Structure 1
Amino acid sequence: MDDDDYWNTSETKQKAFSFDDDVLSPQEILAISQKPYSGQTEDTPFSSTIVNSSKRNLIPLNSLISPKVLDLIVLAQSGKDLKEKIPVQLDTTTATLKRLILGRSCFIHIHRSLKRKTELLDGALAIGDGNAILAVVLFLIQTLNKKLVHELLSSRTVALNHYISYLQSERKITELTDLLTMLGRSPEAAMYQYQHIVKTQGNSVDGLQRKLNNLLSNNFNQPGIDSHSTKMLSDYIKLLEWQTCANKTELNNRSALDCLAYTCRSHWHEGAGKTMSPLTLCQRQQITPLQYDWVVLNVHANSGKWDVVESLFTTKDWLGRTIASFHIPIEALLSKLSELQAPKYLMTNFINKIQNSDKRLKLAHKYKIHSVVIESHMKQKDRSALTNYKMTLSPQSEEYILAENTLRDPSIKWRN
């Protein structure tokens, strides 16, 4: 019996395992054929150990691989066009999606009609596998015109979002902005361009300023762009112009608040109207009073200039009295002052300016401003509370003596 007759006998076919249901590419089959099968020992025909063939029974190749798979191996080794010999079971949407999900190579290009491609996309979306969805979308990009692809994606939000994320991660900004513009999402396209320019321009303030001016003129003045985004970009360009005038390398591409901190440290006494004045920068960049107070507090507190900090949060009323002026919530202000180890007198002054008595007492307890606690209990005529508080103080300390003298004061009419 010659070789061809042997492979085609019914007995041989019955012995052969069927791989028809397992969708494998010829390349994978070749790789598998070169590896030992699971459980292989030294006595197998694939062992590298030299054995006496007369004492061993060799396993026929046809009992391991079906004729169809052998045909694929021969075809792969011959270098011929595999598309001409693709098995029928590989030519289905289900088989292609299965291989995409498993990360195997597949014949995705056999899906040539628009109907087949749409079925492939909808199948990937139904399964919900992100890699399969992206693979199909990229296949559509390669084989369909842009307008048709955008029409398909516009009605399939999940697929569209996967593709947008891919373009972002790959920094394909031109393709991304074209896609969003065609879908009527020009504001998003403009913002992506803005982010890309800022991230990739580097430290060249002049180059960044020039590109952003072009972006403002060409993209941010179009219908549909909200005024807040346009204002944000305009303010940033103004900041770059200010940085150019300042001519300080350490300020290049820094935020408005970073620049404000620099002017507070180095140009605190310059009056409004001068370029490097903190007040001028605040006006130019529309920095809010809350932001201004927070930056000034941190800059001067870290430098130990507590007189500046105190003057920042106090002002004179029309009668000439000193009153508190807090843009920062008092709880946040006291917390920051405590963190920065502000002098006790400053904490006392600020707590004493709190109008609400219960709030004042609570914060005085929290930051151990004993004089304020003692005075608050005295004003409430709460002898019991003051007595209990005195017991928490160090004996013969200044605060202990103050509490004791207050309790002995005959002019106070205690209510308990």
Structure 2
Amino acid sequence: MEDEDDYWNTSETKAKAFSFDDDVLSPQEILAIGQNKSPGQAEDSLFSGASISNVKTATLPLSNLVSNKVLELILLAQSGKDPKAAQPQEQTVSTTIRRLVLGRPCSLHSHRSLRSKTELLDAAGAVGDGNAILTIVLFLIQTLNKKLVYELLSSRPLALNHYISFLQNEGKISELTDLLTMLGRSPDAAMHQFQQHMRTGGSVDGLLRRVTNLVANHFNQPGTDAHQAKMLADFVKLLEWQKFAQRPVLDNKSALSCLAYCCANHWHEGAGNMMSPLTLCQRQQISPLQYDWVVLNVHAKSGKWDIVESLFTKKDWLGRTTVSSHIPIETLLSRLSEMQASKQLLATCVNKVAASQDRLRLAQAFKIHSVVIETYAKQKDRLALQNYKMTLNPQSEEFILVENTLRDNSIKWKN
């Protein structure tokens, strides 16, 4: 037993002892198995016993039996890795596109050449599948120079628009502005930066500083879109007005929201005062239609019908009441009815409709009975008035008005 212990404790034996923690054999080590040893080299101690020392067996190098490629696959399997993942199978462009469209796994990395990648992009564009297009564009971004990818996209609008939408949705504004700038679309890049500034928000001072710089750097150049330049210039004016107002409730609000605030809190301030609704309208170039709509809603909600009537009804030089509004009459009547305006105000508005048939239709739609009765009387249509009477509540004010109208001997009825 002592001899055996001495054997296992020798340093040489320890170095050659088998261990499950040893690294996986390399191909060269596997190939060396079974090869003849050089003269004088000792046999492995585990197999040097007398019982097998005299056995003569012809040995062949393993490389004569198994190829290097197969050995590498054996080693990959031994390491737990997927051999297919390690060596992606080459696929045709059509096969890859088909797999992408069907949602099946496929390896884009088997397409290594620029030509193959370009064909992939064109094939996806021809199919028109958005997911396939975006997947391939992102693959190109990973494996090619960005400038080269942008050049490919510049002549492929469908793929370009999908990638732009992706960058927008992901909030990757820096990459988006780089792309648009490289494509010569600096104003578009600036507008995306502006939208990002709006989403970010922050203090009025900070937003005013960022937007002012954006206007100076991108929208004061020749060839800039005039509409976009004006829009940003108006927004800078609004931010300057909000900074002057020093009302936190107005920060980052639209011009119409600011107008509603001024109508509710500074209605009687004269033009020239910065908080006057008229001054704000002039400064922000708010249209008369927008002004009328905001004033109507603000004062109707607060029950200030005297202001609403003074805005929409005027007296002419003969003392007759006229209706003046930039809001289309049907829209005006609909909103007044929703806000529970008086029947008198509704009747005043609908009576200014020139065509009798239109006037009758609107009066019936909004249940303005006095106008309906008056219109039938003017048309001398006794039958229509009697039929209308049947739709009214007996002894109601409008029911009595119909009866009195039918008894009016001054009207020469046509039926």
Confirm or deny a common fold (TM above 0.5): yes
Structure 1 segment 373-384 matched on structure 2, within 5 A: 373-384=372-383
Q: CA deviation at 1:95?
A: 5.7
Give the corresponding residue for 2:222. Answer: 223
What is the CA deviation profile of residues 289-342 of structure 1, one whole-angstrom value per residue up to 9, with x for unaligned ones?
A: 111111111111111111111111022435554321021111111111111111
Residues 111 and 274 (structure 1 numbering): CA distance in 2 closer, same or farther, change over 3 Å? same
Preserved contact between residue 271 and residue 277 of structure 1 (Cα < 8 Å): yes
Aligned residues: 347
Please identify, of 177-186 and 207-216, the stretch whose mean Cα deviation from structure 2 is larger: 177-186
Q: CA deviation at 1:100?
A: 5.1
Preserved contact between residue 125 and residue 159 of structure 1 (Cα < 8 Å): yes
Q: CA deviation at 1:163?
A: 1.6
Instruction: Kindly indicate whether residue 117 of structure 2 is the aligned counterpart of residue 117 of structure 1.
Output: yes
Give the corresponding residue for 1:192. Answer: 192
Structure 1 segment 17-56 matched on structure 2, within 5 A: none
TM-score by length of 1: 0.76
What is the CA deviation profile of residues 130-150 of structure 1, one whole-angstrom value per residue up to 9, with x for unaligned ones?
A: 333323322322333333222
Residues 138 and 69 (structure 1 numbering): CA distance in 2 closer, same or farther, change over 3 Å? farther
Q: Quote the Cα distance in structure 2 between the aligned partners of 1:399 and 1:310.
A: 24
Residues 390 and 181 (structure 1 numbering): CA distance in 2 closer, same or farther, change over 3 Å? same
Q: Quote the Cα distance in structure 1 between the aligned partners of 2:77 and 2:221.
A: 56
Preserved contact between residue 316 and residue 323 of structure 1 (Cα < 8 Å): yes
1:261 partner SS:
helix
What is the CA deviation profile of residues 265-288 of structure 1, one whole-angstrom value per residue up to 9, with x for unaligned ones?
A: 111111111111111111111111
Q: Quote the Cα distance in structure 2 between the aligned partners of 1:328 and 1:369.
A: 20
AA matched with 1:232: M
Residues 279 and 74 (structure 1 numbering): CA distance in 2 closer, same or farther, change over 3 Å? same
AA matched with 2:154: S
Q: Quote the Cα distance in structure 2 between the aligned partners of 1:384 and 1:94.
A: 77
Q: Quote the Cα distance in structure 2 between the aligned partners of 1:321 and 1:83.
A: 91
2:322 partner SS:
strand
Preserved contact between residue 313 and residue 321 of structure 2 (Cα < 8 Å): yes
Residues 370 and 85 (structure 1 numbering): CA distance in 2 closer, same or farther, change over 3 Å? closer
Give the corresponding residue for 1:294. Answer: 293
Give the corresponding residue for 1:171. Answer: 171
Give the corresponding residue for 1:363. Answer: 362
Q: Quote the Cα distance in structure 1 between the aligned partners of 2:236 and 2:114.
A: 47
Q: Which has the higher contact order (CA 8 A, sep 6+)?
A: 1
Q: CA deviation at 1:368?
A: 1.9
What is the CA deviation profile of residues 18-64 of structure 1, one whole-angstrom value per residue up to 9, with x for unaligned ones?
A: xxxxxxxxxxxxxxxxxxxxxxxxxxxxxxxxxxxxxxxxxxxxxxx
Q: CA deviation at 1:375?
A: 1.4
Give the corresponding residue for 1:106. Answer: 107
Q: Quote the Cα distance in structure 1 between the aligned partners of 2:306 and 2:86.
A: 88
Q: Quote the Cα distance in structure 2 between the aligned partners of 1:128 and 1:351.
A: 54
Please identify, of 268-277 and 149-158, the stretch whose mean Cα deviation from structure 2 is larger: 149-158
1:90 partner SS:
coil
AA matched with 1:282: C
AA matched with 1:148: L
Residues 73 and 348 (structure 1 numbering): CA distance in 2 closer, same or farther, change over 3 Å? farther
Residues 85 and 250 (structure 1 numbering): CA distance in 2 closer, same or farther, change over 3 Å? closer
Please identify, of 336-345 and 72-81, the stretch whose mean Cα deviation from structure 2 is larger: 72-81
Please identify, of 70-79 and 132-141, the stretch whose mean Cα deviation from structure 2 is larger: 70-79
Q: Quote the Cα distance in structure 2 between the aligned partners of 1:233 and 1:153.
A: 29
2:133 partner SS:
helix
Extract unaligned runs of 5+ from structure 2.
1-68
Preserved contact between residue 124 and residue 133 of structure 1 (Cα < 8 Å): yes
Preserved contact between residue 313 and residue 323 of structure 2 (Cα < 8 Å): yes
Preserved contact between residue 323 and residue 348 of structure 2 (Cα < 8 Å): no
Extract unaligned runs of 5+ from structure 1.
1-67
Give the corresponding residue for 1:343. Answer: 342
Preserved contact between residue 186 and residue 224 of structure 1 (Cα < 8 Å): no
Give the corresponding residue for 2:242. Answer: 243
Q: CA deviation at 1:81?
A: 12
Q: Quote the Cα distance in structure 1 between the aligned partners of 2:85 and 2:323.
A: 87
Q: Quote the Cα distance in structure 2 between the aligned partners of 1:296 and 1:374.
A: 32
Q: Quote the Cα distance in structure 1 between the aligned partners of 2:412 and 2:168.
A: 74
AA matched with 1:164: I
Q: CA deviation at 1:206?
A: 1.0
Preserved contact between residue 351 and residue 360 of structure 1 (Cα < 8 Å): yes
Q: Quote the Cα distance in structure 2 between the aligned partners of 1:283 and 1:163.
A: 41
Q: CA deviation at 1:251?
A: 0.9
Give the corresponding residue for 2:310. Answer: 311
* Aligned residues: CA RMSD: 2.8
Q: Which protein has the larger Cα radius of gyration, Structure 1 or Structure 2?
A: 2
What is the CA deviation profile of residues 117-141 of structure 1, one whole-angstrom value per residue up to 9, with x for unaligned ones?
A: 2233233334444333323322322
Give the corresponding residue for 1:280. Answer: 279
AA matched with 2:207: L
Q: Quote the Cα distance in structure 2 between the aligned partners of 1:73 and 1:165.
A: 45
Give the corresponding residue for 1:53. Answer: none
Give the corresponding residue for 1:24. Answer: none
Q: CA deviation at 1:73?
A: 6.2
What is the CA deviation profile of residues 361-394 of structure 1, one whole-angstrom value per residue up to 9, with x for unaligned ones?
A: 2212222222221111111111121122222222
Give the corresponding residue for 1:23. Answer: none
Give the corresponding residue for 1:400. Answer: 399
Instruction: Kindly indicate whether residue 147 of structure 2 is the aligned counterpart of residue 147 of structure 1.
Output: yes
2:380 partner SS:
coil
Residues 208 and 280 (structure 1 numbering): CA distance in 2 closer, same or farther, change over 3 Å? same
Preserved contact between residue 333 and residue 346 of structure 2 (Cα < 8 Å): yes
